Structure 1
Amino acid sequence: MPKFIGRWFPRSDKTDEQDFYTASMLLLLKPWCLISANLLGTHITWADSFSHFMLSASPQTKNILTNIQYFHECSDRAKNLIDYSMQGGILTQCEVDVQQQEQVVEDEEETELTEWDVEHTKASCVSSHLENFCIDALAIAGTSGIFPTLPVETVYRQGAQTAMMDG
């Protein structure tokens, strides 16, 4: 599997990036040794060469292109939701989690928080809600026979704690 470093692939729906998009997709999906001979061929522009390539592209290749564009559509939708939330619209999941946690704290007896509690919470890499969900999911998977043995061993490792000087 190739590993691509850097930014995500270009969008197919931006006219100012069309040449970059078509050239990138040809580089990714069409076999080539020499760019001018194998990718451009007899075509004058990248768009022409890409259009010709797409006429004989397999359904799998077309699916790859659809999935690349789907990433951009999801990213746009997430940005729109954040913008809407910032303008007083729906709550983000983080805001919902904070409100639920505040309600839990209000429902419990008042307890004195220590400096350790604050530092431990700040250093926590995973929310307790997500951690509990993962533990439950692993338990269900283990009892369902998905894993060969019990108890289930995971690669999850708690993040390192901040070093503190005694005294």
Structure 2
Amino acid sequence: MRDLYDRLKTAFPLGELTEQRPDLAFVTVAKEQLRSLLLHLRDQEGFTHLVLLTAVDWLEEGNFQLTYLMNNRLACRDLGVRVMLPRDPASMDSIHDLWPTAATYQRELREMFGIDFPGSPRVDEDFILEGWIRTPPYRRDFDTLKFSDEVFAPRPGRASSDPTEFMKQQLYPDKT
């Protein structure tokens, strides 16, 4: 992958290369450079398949990380292209015109993280969470306990225990 990285580095301002395996590596690129890099990878380097598009919420840094995983079938290798975005407001250019399957990933990321992809087909329609009006549930500041307490009524037999105390009781019943 070092050969590919060296070629790309001459044309694009890339971050450091992170090699996970001989056939899998990751690079970071600025938001403004993403589209031209993806086009180059597809049209010049043989990365014709968009494997996935996913996000990570770096709450403490105030960023989302988008990762576009590309595959070159002939060379049997994958390249992940990472882009950092500010969390609020989170917005990224759509790539559905490059890979139509990206529209589905973008709809999911819009609904689950609140990342907008203007111009992407049906991006504003409900996808999985019909009628959802709360904080997107994959954001790290979404409070699952609060949501559960507000939405689901308590039932007899349903109890929560402190995991530490519960495990002590299970492992050392004579000492509690």
TM-score norm. by structure 1 comes to: 0.26
User: Which protein is richer in helix relative to its size?
Assistant: 1
Structure label with greater radius of gyration: 1
User: Which protein is richer in strand relative to its size?
Assistant: 2
TM-score norm. by structure 2 comes to: 0.25
